[in-house]
Structure 1
Amino acid sequence: MTTTLTTAGAGPAARVAEADWPALAEELDAFGAATTPLLLDPAECRAVADLYDAPGLFRSTVDMARYRFGSGQYRYFSYPLPEPVAQLRAALYPRLLPIVRAWADRLGRPAPWPESLDEWLAMCHQAAQLRPTPILLRYGPGDWNALHRDLYGDLVFPLQVVIGLDEPATDYRGGEFLLVEQRPRAQSRGSSTVLRQGCGLVFATRDRPVRSARGWSAAPVRHGVSTVRSGRRHTLGLVFHDAL
């Protein structure tokens, strides 16, 4: 179920369909993350960011400093999700599905993910993972997010997406998205990405397959956000498994 948020234009689901997914899959294989084209236009970005000030849409609010997660605040949406959030989650899932199934095959793991997001969420709910996980994050000057993984139970979807809602260097400075990957028998490899307004970054939730001397190995991955130097930064996080 969704709540309605009126927007103009082609709409998020249509933009997801128009993306070059074979090229994004290649980028994910090479780097563990891939940047999408525009998924939300500027007006849609502002509308989604403004939802932060409607606390009735959320099931919980987390103060990161309180839990030593960093500094800043984020909120988990409640069901029913706002329409653009639900549209994006449902449209992205089938595009990511072939990628995660290929990754599971390389690692010799089961691939339990069914064809539709509704079927997958039903499996999560049967496993007592009932709470929605789409998240809206707000950072101000000095805020940051520690390296972490978004794991909420035994059932995990291997990819997730974060979408920038503000324009870097205009609305805020700093606040780069950080990804750190531990290669087998090697030092960690880090990368940073500037999230353009309305564009998404697809990245590994827990680990990803990388080639090694013994074939394919799982490289653990964590993500975070560097310190925001000025302004305000909002992002929409789309996790495809629900939480305990």
Structure 2
Amino acid sequence: MNSKQKTATLQWSCIAESLNNKGYAIIPEFFSAEECDSLANLYNNPTLYRKTVVMERHRFGLGEYKYFTYPLPEVIASVRQEIYPYLSAIANTWMKALNINTMFPKQLEQLHEQCRTNNQLKPTVLILKYGKGGFNTLHQDLYGDVYFPLQTVVMLTQPETDYTGGEFVLTEQVPKAQSKAIVLKPNKGDMLIFTTNFRPAKSSKGYYRAAMRHGVSEVQSGKRMAMGIIFHDAVT
């Protein structure tokens, strides 16, 4: 089953409901173990990447990640292109609920045209690697004035087998209260879809922006690898 067929068979109404209510949704076993291993092995091919970031140098955490260059590997480009239209429909319902005067285009290439107009030309898809003690501080992946409000991460290694600790952490700012923490442990091959910066949350007065950030808790042992698929490009 190719990525187009696989994406079309997903239960998008359930995914949308989870994103609306929680700001995230998990798609189990989107990639096979063999596909994950192949993606993880791409980390060792320097010709595929435009930039390597050592996280501790920038106080981002402890670990390393690499941004792919264009053209992306076919399997990644295909998934990114096929999943985007479903997410853009969800994103547009969010904009409408929040009375934000923004509508996202139906196709990924149209979003990239908007990015190019704003000098956002650099791909943002990346692979991240953490060893023992590695972590990622809470952040948002915006990269410029044009940004898409949903993104995904695919786990390339298995918790409790390849590594311990290293949970995926989301925080949500609750009005007039402390932030709420959400801790997730997706399995190898699972795709986690989550908000880039906020989700619409309902109150007695309507919807408001619930600001969210994401990060990774400290890896206690082993090696944790993941691939992040971000749909907008970065400022040049």
Matched residue, 1:32: 23
Q: Deviations over 1:159-216 (max 9, x none)?
A: 0000001111111111110000102222211101112111111111011110123211
Q: Deviations over 1:59-100 (max 9, x none)?
A: 000001110001000000000000111011101101111110
Q: Deviations over 1:19-73 (max 9, x none)?
A: 1010011111111111013221111100101100011100000001110001000
- Is 1:160 aligned to residue 151 of structure 2? yes
- What does residue range 1-244 of structure 1 map to in structure 2 within 5 Å? 10-244=1-235
Alpha-carbon distance change, 37 to 17 in structure 1, aligned in 2, over 3 angstroms? farther
Deviation for aligned residue 1:135: 0.7
- Give the TM-score of the pair, scaled to structure 2: 0.97
- The residue type paired with residue 123 of structure 2 is P
2:28 touches 2:187 (CA, 8 Å); kept in 1? no
- Give the TM-score of the pair, scaled to structure 1: 0.94
> 1-side partners of 2:111 and 2:8: how far apart?
20
- The residue type paired with residue 144 of structure 1 is F
Deviation for aligned residue 1:115: 1.2
Contiguous gaps of at least 5 residues in structure 1: 1-9
Q: Which moved more, 1:139-148 or 1:36-45?
A: 36-45
1:178 touches 1:193 (CA, 8 Å); kept in 2? yes
Q: Secondary structure at the match of 1:160?
A: strand
Q: Percent identity?
A: 44
> 2-side partners of 1:12 and 1:231: how far apart?
30
> 2-side partners of 1:116 and 1:55: how far apart?
30
Contiguous gaps of at least 5 residues in structure 2: none
- The residue type paired with residue 204 of structure 1 is T
Kindly report structure 1 stretches of 4+ aligned residues shifted beyond 6 Å: none
How many residue pairs get aligned? The number is: 235
